[in-house]
Amino acid sequence: MEHCTTPTRVKPRPHGGIATEVTTVKAVRVLVVEDETDLADAVATGLRREGYAVDIANDGEDALDKLAYTEYDLVCLDLTLPKVDGIEVCRQIRNGDTASTGTRVLMLTARDAVGDRVSGLDQGADDYLVKPYAFAELTARVRTLLRRDAGRSGAILHVGDLELDTARLLATRGGRDLELTAKEFALLRYFMTHAGEVLSTEDLLEHVWDQFTDPFTNTVRVTVGTLRRKLSAGGEPPVIETLIGSGYRLHDQPT
Ligand code: CA
């Protein structure tokens, strides 16, 4: 059986380009939370070059908004932020107040803020890095945290006869293995965590693709189409409905 676990890198693509559809690589989603915009951009650019799908939040409120809807694998979280500080963001993640309850948190702290560092770890940060840091050190920590993540048991989602194992990256329908690309897997995961809701193309672009995907691309329609075919390849009834002009909906009841 084939599933989407190898290799760990995706080919970088220019911002605004059309996502490559045929990939069996799991896109690892990272949220960079940093109020120094130049630093945030530099970190995001570097992580994208490493093959991660990266979003940026420039304050704590923006971070919580993004975390509410997107299941990030890792958050690089600056401690001192406008509106809501990093400690509070971390606390809400660990409290289960966001969609990213299982996310790894790498806290970034100023050099002398030892007390901050301790309270960051108390609030459930997985690691910390002292600013200023070398980019190579950041990517090394990110890799280590994500490796640690791979050994952990993740959530298993169920909707109707669909089952999705987020840690082992396996999806089945009625016990039949679905051979999904990374993007199809991420899309199905998003549908399953929002079962019964109408999701617009914009919602899907924002949460399943990264924020630099060309909004005029037909990638969502194409990927929903291939996912739908795979979901019904065993003759099962369709579960993803198209609502003309408003989007898509995954049925939360067997049809
Ligand atoms: Ca800051």
CATH number at residue 177: 1.10.10.10
User: Which of 133, 149, 165 lies at the terminal end of a domain, its last residue?
Assistant: 149
124 alpha carbon – ligand 1 mean position (Å): 19
Judge if 78 and 166 occupy the same domain.
no
Name which residue leads in pLDDT, 85 or 213: 85
Out of 149, 169, 185, pick the residue that ends a domain.
149
pLDDT at 31: 96
Residues 138 and 174 in one domain: no
In a domain, 37, yes or no: yes
CA of 36 to the centre of ligand 1 (A): 6
How close is the Cα of 38 to the center of ligand 1, in Å? Answer: 12
Confidence grade of residue 54 (pLDDT, cut at 50, 70, 90): very high
pLDDT higher than threshold 60 for residue 51:
yes
135 CA to middle of ligand 1, Å?
Answer: 17
What pLDDT is attached to residue 114? Answer: 60
CB-CB neighbours of 78 under 10 Å: 26
- Same-domain status, 163 and 138: no
Between the CA of 77 and the centroid of ligand 1 the distance, in Å, is 9
- Co-location of 118 and 80 in the same domain: yes
Residue at 45 is within a domain: yes
pLDDT at position 117: 61
The residue with greater pLDDT, 186 or 76, is: 76
Output the CA 78–ligand 1 centroid distance in Å. 6
Q: Give me ligand 1 centre to Cα 251, in Å.
A: 42
Residue 82 alpha carbon to ligand 1 centre in Å: 8
145, 241: one domain: no
Cα(37) to centroid(ligand 1), Å: 10
Q: How far is ligand 1, taken at its centre, from the CA of residue 94, in Å? A: 21
Residue 220 has pLDDT above 70, yes or no: yes
- pLDDT, average across residues 166-188: 87
- Distance between CA atoms of residues 210 and 30, nearest Å: 10
Q: Return the top range by mean pLDDT from 14-18, 28-32, 193-197.
A: 28-32
Query: Per the domain annotation, does 3 fall within a domain?
Result: no
CATH number at residue 106: 3.40.50.2300
HSE at residue 236, side-chain half, CA atoms within 13 A, is: 22
pLDDT at 129: 86
Same domain, 30 and 123: yes
Q: Answer yes or no: do 81 and 30 share one domain.
A: yes
Same domain, 143 and 171: no
**Same domain membership, residue 198 and residue 129:** no
Residue range 199-216: average pLDDT? 78
How far does residue 209's CA lie from ligand 1's centre (Å)? 27
Mean pLDDT taken over the chain: 80
- The string of pLDDT tens digits covering residues 1-27 is 434 443 333 444 444 333 333 333 356
pLDDT of residue 128: 84
Do residue 175 and residue 132 come from a single domain?
no
CA of 79 to the centre of ligand 1 (A): 6
Domain that holds residue 218: 156-250
130 and 162 assigned to the same domain = no
Query: Would residue 77 count as lying in a domain?
Result: yes
Counting the structural domains of the chain, the total is 2
40 in a domain, yes or no?
yes
Are 174 and 230 in the same domain? Answer: yes
Separation of CA 238 and ligand 1 centre (Å): 47
157 has a pLDDT exceeding 50: yes
Inside any domain, residue 85: yes
Question: Ligand 1 centroid vs 229 CA: distance in angstroms?
Answer: 46
133-139 mean pLDDT: 88
| pTM of model > 0.85 | no
- Residue 15 CA to ligand 1 center (angstroms) comes to 25
Average pLDDT over residues 106-135: 76
Residue 86 has pLDDT above 70, yes or no: yes
Q: When comparing pLDDT for 122 and 48, which is higher?
A: 48
On whether residue 12 sits in a domain, the answer given is no
Question: From the CA of 58, how far away is ligand 1's center (Å)?
Answer: 9
Tokens of 104: 């790894």
Return the minimum-mean-pLDDT range out of 98-107, 146-155, 233-242: 146-155
Tell me how far the alpha carbon of residue 99 lies from the centroid of ligand 1, in angstroms.
24
Domain end, chosen from 106, 133, 149, is at 149
CB of 26 closer than 8 Å to CB of 169: yes
Whether omega for the bond prior to residue 238 falls within 30 degrees of 0, making it cis, is no
Give the Å distance between the CA of 109 and the centre of ligand 1: 8
**Percent of the chain whose pLDDT exceeds 90:** 36
